[in-house]
Amino acid sequence: MNTLKRRIGQCLIAGAGLWLFNAQAVAESLPSAKASVLDTIKDGKLFSGEVAVLNSAGKITGVIVGSLSGKGAAGDALDIADLPASLTLAASVPNLKGSVGRLSGITLEQAIVNAIGADANIVGNGQTASGVLPLDLNGIRLNILPVGKIVIDTSRFNGVTVTANGQYEVVTNGIVMTFVAAVADMRQFAIDLAAAANNAGTEVRADGVLVGRINGVNYVVQPGLTTEVDVSGANAFSFGVDGLLRYRNAQGDSQILYPAFADLDTLRETFSTEYPGLTITANNGSVTAALGGNTYILMPDYTLSAAPADQTGKSWWSGADGKFYIRNKDGSAQGFTVK
């Protein structure tokens, strides 16, 4: 490994058994390293704007879009300035501005629009300062937020898929980007919530779920993918006749905030272990559980609660209120109904 470091001379991160190098430099400098890259990148090519990920043994385990410095280039984590004190951004939001070698001159933003709009009339409005990518589909506004690393996998076909966690994966020319539905402006949302609910705090989690802490109670929501026009007043939060929470911003965009599971991984792990063969797929807040040809819809509560003392040691239980409860990894509990 020391020889590898000396010959490349571009070690960016050394820690926890992980090394990041400029992929082109590795391929050109070390034939053996190039061979391992070819195993990972199915088309056998490395382009500018890509970084190879090496483990402590010097084996390349993948390639991501970004730069050695991790700042400013396409794919690097976006530097979102002027976040209000009430907003915690746990999600890593990649920069979509700029191009990389695989895209032959077009930007990541345009490549996303091209991939999504292959069979639809999609217009992109450019990534905003808060990281959201607003899109217009025949007059319908979609707000999506890129999260995590942008990775290279040339075995994937171009197009859009929905994952079991309810995220959207956009693939174009071997570039794989992950998105979640988002509010149009995370900063303004946090400011509006703090103003409406006694200095409430907002957390944007890595999976796109929003957690609002109001008077000591955590509310867990997933923004809907689309917005509606509502110019009836100023910024506001309100429940509709359907029982769903809505957020209207100053621009007149109204968006449903669905109740969401705070810890989907624990929910899946808990019930999949107890019921082998069970599959869980996220929808708008709810999840679909399928087992033995039967399908069930699990609808979570908006709020989290403390697990009762008489349920100590249990991963889930049924309550006297007719609901089921799941214990999350952080010790909190969340109720849900089953249909």
Q: What is the pLDDT of residues 147-159, one digit of tens each?
A: 999 999 888 888 8
Q: What is the pLDDT of residues 220-277, one digit of tens each?
A: 999 999 988 776 766 788 898 999 999 998 888 889 999 999 999 999 999 999 999 9
Rounded Cα distance between 184 and 105, Å, is 28
Do 247 and 183 contact (CB within 8 A), yes or no? yes
- The whole-number average pLDDT for the span 280-295 is 94
Q: What is the pLDDT of residues 50-92, one digit of tens each?
A: 888 877 777 777 889 999 888 899 999 998 888 899 999 998 9
Partners of 299 in the β-ladder: 337
Q: How many CB atoms lie within 10 A of CB 62?
A: 17
Do 52 and 44 contact (CB within 8 A), yes or no? no
pTM for the model: 0.85
In sequence order, which residues have a C-beta less than 8 Å from that of residue 62 and are 6 or more positions away?
40, 52, 53, 151, 152
Task: Report the range of poorest mean pLDDT among 9-13, 97-101, 171-175, 179-183.
Answer: 9-13
Sign of torsion over alpha carbons 228, 234, 237, 243: negative
Residue 46, pLDDT > 90, answer no
Do 226 and 182 contact (CB within 8 A), yes or no? no
Q: How many CA atoms lie within 13 A of 140 on its CB side?
A: 11
Give the residue extent of every domain in the chain: 2-65, 75-260, 264-338
